Amino acid sequence: MKASKIRTENLNKVFHTRHQDIYAVKDANIDIREGEFVSLIGPSGCGKSTIIRMIDDIIKPTSGSIYIDGKEITSYKRIPKEINQKMGFIFQLPNLFPWLTVRENVGIACRIYKIRDEGTQRYIDELLEMAGLTEYQNAYPAEISGGVMQRIGVIRAMVHKPEILLMDEPFGALDAMTREKLDMEILDIWKKLGTTVIFITHNVEEAVLLSDRVYVMGTNPGRITREITLDLERPRSLDLLTERKFQDYCAELTECIGHVDLRKVK
Amino acid sequence: MKGNKKWLNIVSPVILLIVILVCWELYVAVSGIDARILPAPHVILSKLGERFMRDLSGDFLYTIQVILIGYCISIPSGILLAALCSQSKLVTKAITPVLILMVVIPMLTLVPILQLWYGYVMKVRIIVVICQAVPIICLNTLRGFTKVETAKRELFRSMGAGRFKTFVKLIFPNALPQVFVGLKLGCIFSTIAAMSADLAASNEGLGSRISVYSGMLMTDMAYGTIIVVALIGIVLFMIVAYIEKKVVIWIK
Ligand SMILES: Nc1ncnc2c1ncn2[C@@H]1O[C@H](COP(=O)(O)OP(=O)(O)OP(=O)(O)O)[C@@H](O)[C@H]1O
Ligand SMILES: [Mg+2]
């Protein structure tokens, strides 16, 4: 069994707002091995984004620990560059910079991390090619469609060759057809690069189609309620969608999520 | 279609201007109003053409210098001040009403005080221009510096970017449209401030010319001088707007 890549220990996050304290994440324990593809699934507001935002040091946890490659990171005020650089974050919305061209948007991490070796430009070419964006590379974000923008958001997170990809519902805003297509592209990339992935979604099929393992989350307080390991063949294709085993997993997951919601109502 | 529209942008204001001038011309001719109160446009223009080089060119150069030097000092000062203030929410909150106050106060009130200190020199008027232009540039730039989408800030945070990098690569380019709003208002404010300083200091400059000409009931030349001032303002504005178009290419 491969080494643990990302691990959290009793991770908690409380947001203090003017009216109330929101327990966004309560005692989350996750353990993800190197090269694994893991999904976080759950209803809106259950703290999915909050968990990976804490892992990427965008926000600090209220208590608990996060280990990246066995190294504790929550005690740092800002995590060291070499750990930060291991991670790439893909946002819920494309979040592109309108003043940069597509190519410059993709390369922004290299500018921030000061990666200037000659391979970089070639790697950007490769990523653009892989995502079918070569023809758009000199366009500005205002000139392109939503699906294309989201692809840019995805390859932008990879340009510094991170070992970990944190994806926050990258295709949530897209139509089902485009999403399935991009899901398959994600699998291709994941296989090619061997990165460890945490993928957030609230779409059950998407989670089953992509993942090795799924953490189910519930709301109020946001917490992990179930963990399901998916015993499905790889490589996966869209043909899987019609298979019995796939549909069983989907039903099981849907039930878990529904169950959680019912408990919340009570 | 697009070319057509561009063409309209220039032609329609010109047509409007011509219509106004024709109405003015007709009104003066029909009503027989005293030329010392309202001279006809053609009289103003011909007088101006006739006397500009002899009577006005010196004041013209003087005022242009005041405006340009003042404006060119105000641009980096206003932006730098905004950059510094934007580093702290508290300072931003504290300085915003002060800036608004300074925008509203006509700075020509400084002229007598400054002249006590420095005497009758150009520096006094340049200071007036700076005091009027810096607040409006700073105010708008500051608004740009403090309004950055959270998601974009988070992306920079996720890349571990420090304060300086975040400013240079995110906050500044993100604020550029707002910076240019400040710069465009700044050149108008500079022109107005130079005029008012001329009026208050009254011995050189186009502003003092206007009051001299009106005093001597040379209304046509007073109007002519006003036209020259307006042209300075418009040309400056157009130059800044042109640069904006070349820089802020992502907003159509
Ligand atoms: N900065 C914040 N201040 C206050 N409350 C917050 C903040 N960020 C998140 N929350 C709250 O924390 C809870 C979890 O939010 P989070 O964004 O992690 O949910 P999510 O599972 O990603 O939901 P979605 O699927 O809608 O993206 C929500 O109740 C949200 O309102
Ligand atoms: Mg979310």
State which of A141, A161, A181 marks the end of a domain.
A161
Tell me the nearest-neighbour CA distance from B169 into chain A, angstroms: 9
Q: Please tell me which of the candidates B152, B158, B170 has its beta carbon nearest to residue A58.
A: B158
- Say yes or no for a CB contact (<8 Å) between B252 and A142: yes
Task: Copy the structure tokens of residue A241.
Answer: 């969608």
| Tokens 């993800």 sit on residue | A32
CATH code for the domain in which residue A74 is found: 3.40.50.300
| CB < 8 Å to A57, chain B | 157-158, 160
**The pLDDT value given to residue B167:** 96
Chain A contact set for B248 (CB, 8 A)? 99
Distance from residue A69's CA to the centre of ligand 1 (Å): 27
Chain A contacts of B252, Cβ < 8 Å?
A: 142
Pair (A113, A227) in one structural domain:
no
What is the structure's pLDDT at B220?
93
For residue A18, what pLDDT is reported?
92
Res B1 pLDDT > 50:
no
For residues A216 and A107, membership in a common domain is answered with no
pLDDT at A262: 55
| B86/B145 Cα distance (integer angstroms) | 6
The strand pairing partners of A65, in sequence order, are A9
Is-contact A94 A149, C-beta < 8 A? yes
Verify that A11 and A116 share a domain, yes or no. Answer: no
Do A134 and A252 fall within a single domain?
no
To which residue do tokens 């999904």 refer? A39
Cα separation, A253 vs A226, whole angstroms: 9
Q: How confident is the model at residue B3 (pLDDT cuts 50, 70, 90)?
A: low
- Closest residue in A to B175 (Cα) is A99
In A, which residues are within 8 Å of B158 by CB distance? 56-58, 84, 87, 89
> Across the strands, what pairs with A28?
A11
Q: Which amino acid is at A94?
A: P
Considering the domain architecture, whether residues A187 and A116 belong to the same structural domain is answered as no
Amino acid B4: pLDDT? 63
Look at residues B152, B149, B168, B177 and name the one whose alpha carbon lies nearest to residue B249: B177
- Give me the mean pLDDT over the B64-84 stretch: 97
- Regarding whether A95 and A65 lie in a shared domain, the answer is no
Q: What is the pLDDT of residue A261?
A: 56
What total number of domains does chain A contain? Answer: 2
ipTM for the assembly: 0.89
Same domain, A221 and A139: no
Q: Does the CB of A140 have a partner CB in chain B at under 8 Å?
A: yes
DSSP assigned state of A75 = T
> Ligand 1 centroid vs A253 CA: distance in angstroms?
22
Same domain, A55 and A173: yes
Task: Tell me, yes or no, whether A121 and A204 share the same domain.
Answer: no
As a whole number of angstroms, the distance between CA B79 and CA B206 comes to 29
Shared domain for A156 and A55, answered yes or no, is no
- pLDDT of A2: 79
| Domain termination residue (choose one: A103, A129, A161) | A161
Give the chain A residue nearest B173 (alpha carbons).
A99
Single residue among A123, A143, A161 that ends a domain in this structure: A161
pLDDT at B2 over 60: no
Ligand 1 pocket, residues with Cβ under 6 angstroms: A 15, 17, 22, 24, 44-50, 202, 222
Query: To the nearest whole number, what is the mean pLDDT of chain B?
Result: 92
| A99 touching B (Cβ < 8 Å) | yes
Q: What is the mean pLDDT of each run of 10 residues along chain A (266 residues)?
A: 90 94 94 96 93 95 96 93 94 93 95 90 92 92 90 92 94 86 90 94 93 94 94 90 93 85 50
Decide if A56 touches B, using CB distance below 8 A: yes
Ligand 1 atom, smallest distance to A50 CA: 18
Residues A170 and A133 in one domain: no
In contact, A157 and A106? CB cutoff 8 Å: no
CA of B228 to the centre of ligand 2 (A): 59
Q: State the burial class of residue A250 (Cβ atoms within 10 Å of its Cβ: 0-12, 13-18, 19+).
A: middle
What is the spatial distance between Cα A57 and Cα B144, in angstroms, rounded to a whole number?
A: 26
- B132: tokens are 């009027």
Mean of pLDDT values over B158-174: 94
Strand partners, A25: A13
Range of the domain at A182: 4-86+163-265
Q: A79 touching B, CB under 8 A?
A: yes
Beta bridge partners of A218: A223
Query: How far apart are the C-alpha atoms of B55 and A189, rounded to whole Å?
Result: 76
CA distance A95 to chain B (A): 6
- What's the rounded Cα separation, in Å, for the pair B199 and B104? 18
B98 in helix, strand or coil?
A: helix
Q: Do A103 and A215 reside in the same domain of the chain?
A: no
Range scoring the smallest mean pLDDT among B27-31, B73-77, B186-190, B202-206: B202-206
Chain A residues in contact with B153 (beta carbon < 8 A): none
**Beta carbons of A53 and B154 less than 8 Å apart:** yes
